[in-house]
């Protein structure tokens, strides 16, 4: 490690690795802290929690060979991988990049350009001077001219054992990410929650081609979502709102979700709901606990970008990228995009300061 690093990156999701790729190529010699403490800080970020990723540009799902043959000239077909054996859907070759695989590729790309990686959590920072200090859980404090915070946000779950058991087998926290996967397509599904996100997720699922019934399960007798959103859900022909209901248990056949056991919040009754998937939409928690009081955040703890279309924060030389500052899009590709922006913003900051 140098006496003073030029760029330290905290976080190892798409935002962190993209920032590292750009920073390393710009010769900033980035040092990246991965985060190790589960469940919040799984190395490789949130995509490490999921299986197939179908919507990251450049990584098509399906019969990849046929796809690439249709997309690039024939003189480049010689290096096309066939769909790996055993990967089939409806008798056709089918493959989609796995979340962990996509992240390993990003990590390797960052390593190839010289990113140095430390498997440690950052537990504190000192942003009071011109040079910033980053304090890892174990090991020496690190000094840096610029810091890119890319620590993500974790989805909140209900906390049921059965929910944990069926994650990736019918339980998800992201309809935009997973709703179009074959396991959920044209199936009755439940969305849990009553805020704008829950209504958006329910609407997204209900508008998918051939959508079956979407149940919006809410513990109160009115939605917290804005009136426009709430009216949209109430009037959608495919959405049925189940009021005053909470999920007691996720039911399944070991392989996947087959239903939900719901209990009423107004009496002792319970019901079983036949659904093939449950989307939990009860909010996210940004991984910013270690930054409390160190820079400006909104009331939910997300870091605030201080200029439109830039990744600057309220502290000079400190930039934020990905879900930790974005409670709106929350996608791998948008996180990677702002990771790239943060590296470019860092580089320009250092150049302007003559550092």
Binding site for ligand FAD (CB under 6 A): 10-16, 33-35, 41-43, 45-47, 49-50, 53, 55-56, 121-122, 150-152, 155, 172-174, 177-178, 287, 290, 322-324, 330-333, 335
- Catalytic annotation, pick one of 120, 177, 323, 345: 177
Assigned token pair, 117: 């990686």
Least gap, CB of 244 to ligand FAD (angstroms) = 28
Q: Which residue number, 12 or 203, has a Cβ lying nearer to ligand FAD?
A: 12
- Catalytic annotation, pick one of 120, 126, 130, 178: 178
Total residue length of the chain: 355
Q: Which residue number, 163 or 323, has a Cβ lying nearer to ligand FAD?
A: 323
* CA–CA dist 256, 304 (Å, integer): 39
Own/partner pairs for 114-118, CB < 8 Å, 24+ apart? 114/24, 114/29, 115/9, 115/20, 115/21, 115/23, 115/24, 115/30, 115/31, 115/32, 116/1, 116/29, 116/30, 116/31, 116/32, 117/12, 117/32, 117/34, 118/31, 118/32, 118/33, 118/34
Q: Which residue number, 92 or 138, has a Cβ lying nearer to ligand FAD?
A: 138
- Catalytic annotation, pick one of 73, 90, 120, 174: 174
Assigned token pair, 206: 């209900």
Q: Which residue number, 55 or 263, has a Cβ lying nearer to ligand FAD?
A: 55
Least gap, CB of 267 to ligand FAD (angstroms) = 34
Least gap, CB of 310 to ligand FAD (angstroms) = 17
Strand 171-172 vs strand 277-280: parallel, antiparallel, or unpaired?
parallel
* CA–CA dist 50, 83 (Å, integer): 20
Cβ(321)–Cβ(16) below 8 Å: yes
- Comparing CA positions, the residue from 5, 39, 42 lying closest to residue 20 is 5
Least gap, CB of 120 to ligand FAD (angstroms) = 7
Least gap, CB of 42 to ligand FAD (angstroms) = 5
Total Cβ atoms within 10 A of residue 280:
26
Instruction: Based on the residue annotation, tell me whether 340 is a catalytic residue of this protein.
Output: no
Q: Which residue number, 35 or 195, has a Cβ lying nearer to ligand FAD?
A: 35
Report the catalytic residues: 174, 177-178
């Amino acid at each position: 490690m140098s006496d003073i690093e030029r760029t330290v990156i905290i976080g190892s999701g798409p935002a962190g690795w993209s920032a590292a790729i750009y920073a390393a190529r710009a010769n900033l010699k980035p040092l990246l802290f991965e985060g190790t403490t589960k469940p919040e800080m799984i190395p490789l970020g949130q995509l490490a929690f999921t299986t197939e990723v179908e919507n990251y540009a450049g990584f098509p799902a399906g019969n990849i060979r046929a796809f690439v043959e249709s997309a690039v000239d024939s003189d480049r077909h010689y290096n096309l991988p066939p769909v790996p054996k055993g990967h089939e859907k409806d008798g056709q070759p089918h493959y989609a990049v796995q979340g962990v695989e996509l992240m390993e590729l990003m990590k390797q790309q960052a390593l190839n350009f010289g990113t140095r990686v430390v498997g440690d959590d950052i537990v504190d920072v000192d942003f009071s001077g011109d040079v910033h200090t980053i304090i890892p859980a174990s090991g020496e404090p690190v000094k840096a001219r610029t810091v890119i915070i890319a620590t993500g946000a974790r989805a909140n779950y209900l906390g049921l054992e059965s929910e944990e058991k069926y994650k990736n087998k019918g339980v998800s926290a992201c309809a935009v990410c997973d709703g179009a996967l074959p396991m959920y397509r044209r199936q009755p599904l439940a969305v849990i929650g009553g805020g704008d996100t829950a209504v958006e997720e329910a609407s997204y699922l209900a508008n998918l081609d051939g959508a079956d019934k979407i149940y919006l399960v809410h513990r109160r007798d009115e939605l917290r979502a804005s009136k426009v959103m709430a009216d949209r859900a109430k009037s959608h022909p495919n959405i049925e709102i189940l009021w005053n209901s909470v999920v007691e248990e996720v039911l399944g056949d070991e392989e996947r979700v087959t239903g939900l056991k719901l209990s009423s919040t107004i009496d002792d009754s319970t019901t079983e709901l036949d659904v093939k998937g449950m989307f939990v939409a009860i909010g996210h928690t940004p991984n910013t606990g270690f930054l409390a009081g160190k820079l400006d955040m909104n009331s939910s703890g997300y870091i605030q970008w201080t200029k439109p279309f830039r990744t600057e924060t309220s502290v000079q030389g400190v930039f934020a990228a990905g879900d930790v500052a974005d409670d709106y899009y929350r996608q791998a590709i948008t996180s990677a995009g702002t990771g790239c922006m943060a590296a470019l913003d860092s580089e320009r900051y250092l150049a302007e300061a003559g550092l």
